[in-house]
Amino acid sequence: MSVAQQVQSNPAIFISGNEAVALAARDAGCRVASAYPGTPSTEILEFIAAYPDLYTEWSINEKVSLEVAIGASLAGSRALCAMKHVGMNVASDALMTQTLIGAVGGLVIAIADDVGLSSSQNEQDSRYWGRFAHLPVLEPSDSQDAYDMTRFAFGLSEQYAVPVILRLTTRICHVKGLVTLSIPQVKEGRKFTKDPSRLVMVPGNARQRIPLMLERDKTLATFSESCSLNVIEQGSTRQVGFITSGAAYCHVREAFPDAPLIKLGMSHPAPIEMIREFADSVEKLVVIEEVEPLLETELKAAGIQLHGKEAIPRMGELTPAVITPAVARLLGKENTIAAVGVTEVFPRPPTMCVACPHLGIYYCLSHVKNTIIAGDIGCYTLGAGHPWNALDTCISMGASLSVAQGIDKGRSEEDANKNVLAVIGDSTFLHMGMQGLLDITYNKGNVTILLLDNRAVGMTGGQNAPSSGLNIHGDATVKIDFRKLCEALGVRSERIHEVNPYELPTLFKALRDEVKVKEPSVIITNQPCVLTERYAKQPPLTVDTDKCTGCSNCLDVGCPAILVARRETVIKPNGKEKVLSFVNIDSAACTGCNLCINTCAPDAIVPVISTARIDTVELK
């Protein structure tokens, strides 16, 4: 059945915002899509990858992803790249030049903001990039908007030869809604046109493009005043009116169903005159925007009287429970929000997976004293938590090596005898860590690097990376050799070790040996992420309760499958109290990785189906 037939036979489908963006890219005739995985944007490319006529790739990082999309656009094809909000920080170097060059084939940049920090190191407002880079910003409010606006964005990009930012948030990306599809477009690629004065941004050429960019700003501002994405919804009351966009629109409409409002689908450039006229029609005007007061600042600068962040919180999602009391206070009323029963949920701290190959590493690190450990972004960030407490810093993606180098070079006499370590994952090392290692070797640093190669982008769901030897479709491709790569970056071959992280004695020895060496060294761990098909489960384990002494050494591994069955307080011969923790193992969750066996002196942990000692996990 063709896509057109599907549209006619299935008028509405129930999908998430991420899937809606993917479908829209397909239906808009997009030919190239690229991304680096990052919550909440990851699924956009995973859905697009299912369309065989559309080239897709997991790029090494967000800058490369954007540059791939830029290249496709300049070649005349419609292109989309997707990233989470912090990814645009990485991609911004390419973005800030592309704003001068503009687009040929429609170029859409989907940026997903993690409003509320569900899985990010900071909260950012990507609408800033529209102001900074002189680009239009579209903000969907639900899955239907995500589909419609993505298609609109491709047309807008080509009409004004400008990249278009599609600003998403977690609530839009992951919440599902009904979407009515439109008939797909067929967009053939255009012939590449040589134009060095536009495409080669040497200073002389770039200088000539700036007036064109500023003129484009004016044109887009005029367009925004009549853009069909900017809508006035007339209410039945005049006491308060709202200006809003994105997910906040749905929250405002739920909290104030009778209030008039302007829903900005194209929030930058803002339709200033449209808003000015609307402001005159209500007694109080309130801007509801997540996260920063961008619109508020612009509108106040235009002389429009309104209320904003002096009443509305500046961080987190602006749900009805947040908006309603804030506006009530602004109107001098009591909080009118209806009390909603809240079910208390038992707190569950984030932790690593059962049998994660990182468990043994952090178990060892927690027992290696006199260290300063720089961490990085990924699953291994969880090493900062209980029971390991084995990270001292975590700044941004790929920063661990450079930060460790700074700690090494900037340490005081008091820290002179401490060992400096950096921990980084395979995909993160390829994303931004390689440069840090080169800096360490080039500038003669003294850092021990743990390169945790689990052959996947584990935190975002186990996507393939160059370390896996598989591309986005699971097809075989180049597989990076980290030993050779580290050697090429200046680490002496005898200082590079590859170890199985499930073999604790070997891992301990490698760590203790390398921290003594006064030069850069790398310990590469080599077992796959347990969430990928490359991981091979072993027979599960159980606890012989007659042998368990309650020493709790196995709990220090941090495996979620090991559970405390009972505690008992005893008096030691020296008179001190000691709490014993007797454990059992959730055999249904256990994959028999063998880590806990290595910590159990009385041999109380045994296989469920065999008493034979289990070999280490094997690679497929």
Q: 432: which DSSP letter? A: I
Residue 400, pLDDT score: 95
Helix, strand, coil abundance in the chain, percent, nearest 5: 35, 20, 45
Q: How far apart, in whole angstroms, are the C-alpha atoms of residue 380 and residue 352? A: 8
What letter represents residue 64's amino acid? Answer: V
* Residue 462: C-alpha distances to residues 153, 454, 455, 537, 586 (Å): 30, 9, 8, 16, 24
Reduced to 3 states, what is the DSSP secondary structure of residue 534? coil
Residue 620, pLDDT score: 40
| For residues 391-406, average pLDDT | 94
To the question of whether residue 173 is assigned a binding role by annotation, the answer is no
What's the pLDDT tens digit per position in 294-319?
999 999 999 999 999 999 999 999 99
The CATH class of the 357-525 domain is alpha beta
pLDDT band at 156 (very low <50, low <70, confident <90, very high): very high
With contact defined as beta carbons under 8 Å apart, do 324 and 296 qualify?
Answer: no
* Residue 583: C-alpha distances to residues 42, 156, 577, 602 (Å): 38, 61, 19, 13
Q: Is the per-residue pLDDT at 7 higher than 80?
A: no
Helices and strands, counts by H and E, the chain: 21, 23
Percent of the chain with pLDDT over 90: 86
Residue 610, pLDDT score: 54
Structure tokens at 427: 């995909």
Residue 619, pLDDT score: 41
CA angle 427, 354, 532 (to 5 degrees): 45
Q: Which of 337, 350, 40 is nearest to 172 (CA)?
A: 40
Q: 496: which DSSP letter? A: E
Structure tokens at 601: 């002196």
Helices (H), 356-461: 358-367, 400-410, 426-428, 434-442
To the question of whether residue 379 is assigned a binding role by annotation, the answer is no
The CATH class of the 230-331 domain is alpha beta
Reduced to 3 states, what is the DSSP secondary structure of residue 210? helix
- Asked, colleague to colleague, whether 12-188+203-225 and 357-525 share their fold, the answer is yes
To the question of whether residue 593 is assigned a binding role by annotation, the answer is yes
Q: How far apart, in whole angstroms, are the C-alpha atoms of residue 132 and residue 137? A: 11
What letter represents residue 409's amino acid? Answer: K
DSSP 305-372: --B-TTTS-SSS---HHHHHHHHHHHTT----PPP------------PPTT-THHHHHHHHHH--SEE
Q: Is the per-residue pLDDT at 612 higher than 70?
A: no
Alpha-carbon 375 to chain mean position? 17
pLDDT band at 448 (very low <50, low <70, confident <90, very high): very high
What's the pLDDT tens digit per position in 275-294?
999 999 999 999 999 999 99
pLDDT band at 116 (very low <50, low <70, confident <90, very high): confident
Domain 541-607 grouped into CATH 3.30.70: yes
**Among 137-146, 174-183, 347-356, 442-451, whose mean pLDDT is lowest?**
347-356
Show the beta-strand stretches assigned E in 463-515: 496-499
To the question of whether residue 394 is assigned a binding role by annotation, the answer is no
Q: Is the per-residue pLDDT at 3 higher than 70?
A: no
To the question of whether residue 548 is assigned a binding role by annotation, the answer is yes
pLDDT band at 341 (very low <50, low <70, confident <90, very high): low
Q: Is the per-residue pLDDT at 613 higher than 80?
A: no
Q: Is the per-residue pLDDT at 259 higher than 80?
A: yes
Residues 6+ apart with CB under 8 A from 96: 132, 133
To the question of whether residue 353 is assigned a binding role by annotation, the answer is no
Range picked from 190-194, 382-386, 424-428 for highest mean pLDDT? 424-428
Count Cβ atoms below 10 Å from residue 511 Cβ, excluding itself: 23
Which long-range CB contacts under 8 A does 237-240 form with residues at least 24 apart? 238/281, 238/282, 238/283, 239/282, 239/283, 239/284, 239/331, 240/282, 240/283, 240/284, 240/285, 240/286, 240/327, 240/330, 240/331
Domain limits of the chain?
12-188+203-225, 230-331, 357-525, 541-607
What's the pLDDT tens digit per position in 549-584?
999 999 999 999 999 999 999 988 888 888 999 999
* Residue 485: C-alpha distances to residues 23, 468, 489, 496 (Å): 38, 15, 6, 11
Q: How far apart, in whole angstroms, are the C-alpha atoms of residue 236 and residue 227? A: 24
The CATH class of the 12-188+203-225 domain is alpha beta
